[in-house]
Structure 1
């Protein structure tokens, strides 16, 4: 095959953190196929995170409200593109529908080159049920997304940051929000599941350990508990939870001194922006940071990791939530000082 005519389709619909980590894939493809054309199909609400990427030629947006009929209609439009390579980086029913429509004779080996990312159910079963870890260590979300592409000669080493490219408008809105908060530290106290969250009182204590530092709090509209954290020092802590779009939230991270975060999508946004971050890693293994710019804070315990997404239950018989409870605010404050002291 002529590399100059290669045309790739990446399939990844969600979730926020997975999509942001997958942003390394287009650049990794370009390292091996510099003249390739790269398309990506994703959920409509994820599309703003992709559109500024210089190595993505077209973003196909799927609206969940359109249902199966809308998905098939979108896929029929994509058939006209005659993709030479299809990477199913999601491996769910929607991604399978797309691959079936685009490669109707794929079971005969006819059609585009095709790779589907394995969910590795057997390895997960061994890990969570019997504590037998057969995964490559250390865990790395980006590496795991790139590794399936080795048969196409694509490296599993994540390309250098930045891999998240925000619009000028997103940066401008973030600047307007932070006009009185120059040099602030961004905090992301939320996470999809409770067991992935550093205790709320610890965030308060961390803020009090830095009486002269301004902070911004990031999260979603459902994270009402974040207002309690702000109340510890409202004169120098701003709560942006639920008040910013995804790109603007990432823009706030980009213009902050650093980010301190649970295992959430903002961690991966910081990595893909090339920002230093402190990551509080608890029960889940598959969203681990992939870059040296991130300082990983974790407690080595025989019960970790205990679940795919940190959904629980906590299996530690000695101390509930020990994986995050034993990471103290003073430890994080010391790491934050190391970062701030190295900045101009």
Structure 2
């Protein structure tokens, strides 16, 4: 049996497809392929459960021709959008499609109703392949480093044992204000390494300036693979709702997952199969104000981040 799994984006959504691929591969004689955008190729590089990785071409017609040539028995559509609908229609391959619960999510967001059950995205995905007899193996997500890195080459001697703090996130309302990050870092019992892209390098510099060399700013310095390696080597991880924080779950590290304007229950992306985790967030009438985050707090107060209890985070990390 030959199966194509499709998920085009984004980093977090694709990383949560890895248990589906792994569990599919447990079926006797199955061959599993995965189709995604070229930008997310790295998520499935070196994955031993995947037989072939297909990359979305500029022309959807060209992609469809590649799919037709593979003669798949099933398409597992975990993206469920217009492009995947066209692919399924034009290939005529039997398929099973992930239920995005769009109406329930919209109503939950618009009217602050809890219409979406707090089921993890992995389990939602797995429902799509249940008809094949796939069973959840209850293991964490998968991520495989591209090369071996050396800790002493990436970090100073003072930071060979450390807490990783992922301060990057796509949208402003997913990021904790610098003053809150500074306050938390000052109370931690181990040195801190800040991780993120070049877009938050200035934030990291401000945090280091306020605290001193106890905090090392690796934002914009380390590659993604090096950042993942540092997450793997950290004692514990603190992070916002962003891809690197989700990737950390692959290494079963104790994780503090910090949520501002978005909530994990709606998207089903709370830490998955992690032995120790803390989801930090506050109940507010205005929260969530967005499914994916915004450029600014619509009401101007940003209480969803400012009101988060710092002591619960510090106690979890220091324990």
Q: TM-score under structure 2 normalisation?
A: 0.88
In structure 2, runs of 5+ residues without a counterpart are none
Partner of 1:320: 301
Q: Deviations over 1:95-125 (max 9, x none)?
A: 334333432xxxxxxx3x3012233221012
Partner of 1:107: none
Q: Matches of 1:141 and 1:162 in 2, distance apart?
A: 11
Q: Distance in 2 between matches of 1:239 and 1:9?
A: 40
Matches of residues 299-338 of structure 1 in structure 2 within 5 Å? Answer: 299-311=282-294, 314=297, 320-338=301-319
1:56 deviates by 0.7
SS at match of 1:46: helix
| 2:130 is equivalent to residue 146 of structure 1 | no
Task: Determine which of 84, 88, 100 is the counterpart of 1:99.
Answer: 88
Q: CA deviation at 1:205?
A: 1.2
Q: For residues 133-282 of structure 1, what are the structure 2 equivalents within 5 Å?
A: 133-137=114-118, 139-155=119-135, 157=136, 159-161=138-140, 163-167=142-146, 169=147, 171-172=148-149, 176-178=153-155, 180=157, 181-210=159-188, 213-223=190-200, 224-282=202-260
SS of aligned partner of 1:230? helix
CA contact (8 A) 1:11 1:42 kept: yes
Instruction: Please say if residues 173 and 248 of structure 1, whose CA atoms lie closer than 8 Å, have aligned partners that are also in contact.
Output: no
Is this contact kept in 2: 1:161–1:271, CA < 8 A? yes
Secondary structure of the 2:237 match is strand
Aligned twin of 1:20:
15
CA RMSD of aligned residues (A): 2.4
Question: What's 1:106 paired with?
Answer: none
Cα deviation, residue 173, structure 1: 5.4
Deviation at 1:25, TM superposition (A): 1.2
Shift of residue 245 of structure 1? 2.8
For this pair of structures, how many residues does the alignment match? 312
What is the Cα deviation at residue 175 of structure 1?
5.8
Q: 1:298 Cα shift?
A: 2.1
Task: Say if 1:219 and 1:241, in contact at 8 Å, map to a contact too.
Answer: yes
Structure 1 residue runs of 5 or longer lacking an equivalent are 1-5, 104-110, 339-344
Instruction: Output the CA distance in 1 between the equivalents of 2:259 and 2:120.
Output: 12
